[in-house]
Chains A and B, each alone.
Chain A
């Protein structure tokens, strides 16, 4: 018999994903025009169909598959269908024009060799580009639109989040569904989630903030989700604001850069007709939070009704599923000014004067059931005293079990039930402040400098932007470690010739060290990850091999 009303026949297994499938669901918003709303009750048969289709193509529980993460109905159903089948989706970014199809094919091949998936699953358009891959291809548009109810063991479900590894050597974090549920619950708690909330997202589904923070979060809490492609946002950022305005969106996250991007790309004159008063939580995470960018965003969008109290900076990482600390709901941005000179020696102190002042965002206390410890970055054991900088260690129900097929990485990061994050931080006013990363430390004359200190100093030079400056360690002619700053210079800068000296002065003022070199670059020349993080290692590599030039 054909299933007449899926909601009445939902299996226990399926309820682990869709608690109470009804009209609430996902609105798939295209680049132009109206969206298509699919209630979770109508999504369920499609997810069953996808599960049956993947099974018919030979995928079994525990088998991994590469999932080309696009934000359309068919691709989303394939991800969910694979998940409830017990197969393990490995989301990868779709091809992007900037690097061309060749680079994408190479990335898929690198994932195949490193992580041993059994199939490549995605929309036809992108699979056509992967014809040379030895992986069997499954076109999501061709998966059945219904299938038998699914029975299985949700405690075995998991997906993989590709993380810090390079393009050539992908590294994947195993994310069991139990971690997803735990973190979705915590995020809901931190967001004061309520019935009728509407999630709006353009975040890529190959990124944890998009996949866990919006898609799986909305499904977990049975909320409406308005989903658009990241390309739509990048091309037409006003679409994000329109989606929030049109759908009365209340929960919508973005990385720090996106807030600055909107303020730059959507001029005040284009805000007419937007009503953003419903936007209750504007999460800001995934990269260091730059207080001036968030303040600028709130001021720019205030005429459209955006409440500054909605800004919610947070801290997290893929190894902890997504979220670790949250600023209090409806508090808004809180920042603290500290001494750069003291910070370089691992202390949190008040600044001595204006040039010594560094403003950092406070990222809130740990989410419920989450423990955060600060420990000596070298020995990894000694607790850090108050007002000192330590390495962030954490523990909680969102802590993932480790990396896929990478015991060496596990041994470095997972110790006695704790995760060693590689991030540096301190407690300020009872909240976590992230103050750099151990791996990117620049050590000059025995003093530690987080690159971001130098970058923010350089960003204070007139006409430069801290998020477009990159600091890294190099070696001076005497063989001593020294710092280099590379800066992107806007096209209309009135006096670029004077910049190297000004940057050197600003850094010298802020940190007390002399730069080995200042490299001036055209706009957008600094490589960034797909989520917008500076790739300091890559910049350093190019500098060292002489290819970092204008």
Chain B
């Protein structure tokens, strides 16, 4: 579980330039406030699909509106 969060925050750090520690405090915030617009969000999902070998459909993606929701989704998909 900790690993999932580490992986997720690692990718988000790469996409937004925010350090993982700062992101820990933004887990429940809307993704736009984390610095992920719709384009960066798709980049994040593509990287997660590759990392975990899962397919994230648009109907799943629409509910992934915070880092916490994404972490829960990855955990559920494993």
Q: Which residues of A does B touch, CB under 8 Å? A: 31-32, 94-101, 104, 125-126, 129, 229, 231, 234-236, 261, 265, 489-492, 522-525, 527-528, 530
Across chains A and B, the number of contacting residue pairs, with CB separation under 8 Å, is: 79
B42–A234 touching, CB < 8 Å: yes
Chain B facing A: main interface SS: helix
Instruction: For residue A267, give the distance in angstroms from its CB to the closest CB of chain B.
Output: 14
Task: Among B17, B18, B30, find the residue whose CB has the most chain A CB atoms closer than 10 A.
Answer: B17
Query: Can you list 23 A-B contacts (CB < 8 A)?
Result: A31-B55, A97-B41, A97-B62, A97-B65, A98-B31, A98-B36, A98-B41, A98-B65, A99-B30, A104-B62, A129-B62, A231-B42, A234-B42, A234-B43, A235-B42, A491-B14, A491-B17, A522-B16, A522-B17, A522-B18, A523-B17, A523-B40, A527-B37
A523–B62 touching, CB < 8 Å: no
B36–A524 touching, CB < 8 Å: yes
Residues of A close to B32: CB separation below 8 A: 98-99
Question: Which partner residue on chain B sits nearest A521 by CB separation?
Answer: B35
Let me know if B77 is at the binding interface, CB within 8 A: no
One of A94, A101, A231, A234 near B63 (C-beta < 8 A): A101
- State the CA gap A129–B65 with chains docked (Å): 15
Using A98-B31, A235-B42, A235-B46 as known contacts, say yes or no to A490 and B58 having CB atoms under 8 A apart. Answer: no
A235–B45 touching, CB < 8 Å: yes
A98–B46 touching, CB < 8 Å: no
Residues of A close to B49: CB separation below 8 A: 235
B15–A523 touching, CB < 8 Å: yes
Instruction: For residue B21, give the distance in angstroms from its CB to the closest CB of chain A.
Output: 15
Let me know if B9 is at the binding interface, CB within 8 A: no
One of B13, B17, B38, B55 near A97 (C-beta < 8 A): B38
- State the CA gap A96–B40 with chains docked (Å): 12
Residues of B close to A525: CB separation below 8 A: 35
- State the CA gap A94–B65 with chains docked (Å): 15
Let me know if B2 is at the binding interface, CB within 8 A: no
Interface string of B49-77 (1 = CB under 8 A from A): 10000010011011111000000000000
- State the CA gap A94–B43 with chains docked (Å): 19
B16–A265 touching, CB < 8 Å: no
Residues of A close to B30: CB separation below 8 A: 98-100
B16–A95 touching, CB < 8 Å: no
Question: Which partner residue on chain A sits nearest B31 by CB separation?
Answer: A98
B64–A97 touching, CB < 8 Å: yes
A125–B59 touching, CB < 8 Å: yes
- State the CA gap A100–B62 with chains docked (Å): 6
Instruction: For residue A21, give the distance in angstroms from its CB to the closest CB of chain B.
Output: 30
Instruction: For residue B65, give the distance in angstroms from its CB to the closest CB of chain A.
Output: 4
11 more A-B residue pairs beyond the given contacts A98-B30, A98-B65, with a C-beta to C-beta distance below 8 A: A97-B31, A98-B38, A101-B63, A231-B61, A491-B13, A491-B16, A491-B17, A522-B17, A522-B35, A524-B35, A527-B37
